[in-house]
Structure 1
Amino acid sequence: MDDSLQSLIRQLIKKHHTSCPFEIAASLGIHIRFADLGQTTKGLYFRKLRRRFIVIHNQLPPPWQRFVCAHELGHDRLHKGISRFFLEEHSYFSPGKLERQANRFAIALLTAGLTPGQGESLHEFYLRAGIPQEMLYFFDF
């Protein structure tokens, strides 16, 4: 994982005293909303009138809601001024550059402070950390 990304994650956790994406977003003044976003949209991040919002699909299970919050928080921290949709793709193998960066941010945040157990594969570790199974296709093991 990129050193600058790790440094950013460490700074966020140190400043906000948590690795919970919901708590960090709230501390940063980002408004979190839950809404029915349809079949293909898991979440979105946008700015309106100098206010920042993360909207999470309300039908997602809690691990996905947590991941989506972390992903959209990644857009806020990494892609200032850009509103991006986190769309479920028909193929999980070709996300755009900004989406990959937000996914890596989410995984780094959600695994911060955790270490793989003895004999635990990286795949098992990510699942234990609450990373949705579908997101594991983005990474080599």
Structure 2
Amino acid sequence: MKELIHKLVRKYRTNCPFDIAKALGIHIRYSDLGSTTKGLYYHKLRRKFIVIHDGLTPEWKRFVCAHELGHDRLHKGISRFFIEEHSYFSPGKFEQQANRFAVLLLSEGKPPLADETLEHYLPRIGLPKETALFFNRKTEH
């Protein structure tokens, strides 16, 4: 996953998920997705879409965009609903992978400072503090 992210960042010269999605031809839309859904990714008529809940903070919108971009890059052709209903795979695994992708993408090229805590590091790189759950400093950098 790290190599995939490194290639994306090198190719598009940014780790901004919005810029990368645009370069990949993924359309980003905003909508009220309710209180439990932050975002979703889908294909329709050969077009790709990321839909982000419009009530999120800018930091969360950025993280959600990166997360959904992770689904595009890591889980091509896989429908979560298909997995839940027709196989033994846990969709939780794919969500965890997309969260890891988002954290790695958004922290690419921005390593923590010596002795910097996650409490200080995450806001410095524009990540919501709640994303600390998806971050493992010992294996990520």
TM-score band, normalised by shorter chain? 0.7 to 0.9
Q: Percent identity?
A: 62
Q: Which runs of 5+ in 1 are unaligned?
A: 86-94
**Structure 2 matches for 1:113-128, cutoff 5 A?**
113-128=109-124
Task: Normalising by structure 1, report the TM-score.
Answer: 0.83
Over residues 38-73 of structure 1, what are the superposed CA-to-partner deviations in whole Å (9 max), with x where a residue is unaligned?
A: 111100000011110000000100000000000000
Q: 2:106 aligns with which of 97, 107, 110?
A: 110
Match of 1:73 in 2: 69
Match of 1:135 in 2: 131
Check conservation: 1:47, 1:83, Cα contact below 8 A: no
Which is richer in helix?
2
Q: Which runs of 5+ in 2 are unaligned?
A: 82-90
Which amino acid is the alignment partner of residue 9 of structure 1? I
Whichever of the two has the greater Rg, that structure is 2
The more displaced of 129-138 and 111-120 is: 129-138
- Offset, 1:12: 0.3
Check conservation: 1:33, 1:54, Cα contact below 8 A: yes
Check conservation: 2:41, 2:71, Cα contact below 8 A: yes
Match of 1:46 in 2: 42
RMSD: 1.8
- Size of the aligned set, in residue pairs, is 128
Task: Normalising by structure 2, report the TM-score.
Answer: 0.83
Question: What SS does the aligned partner of 2:41 have?
Answer: strand
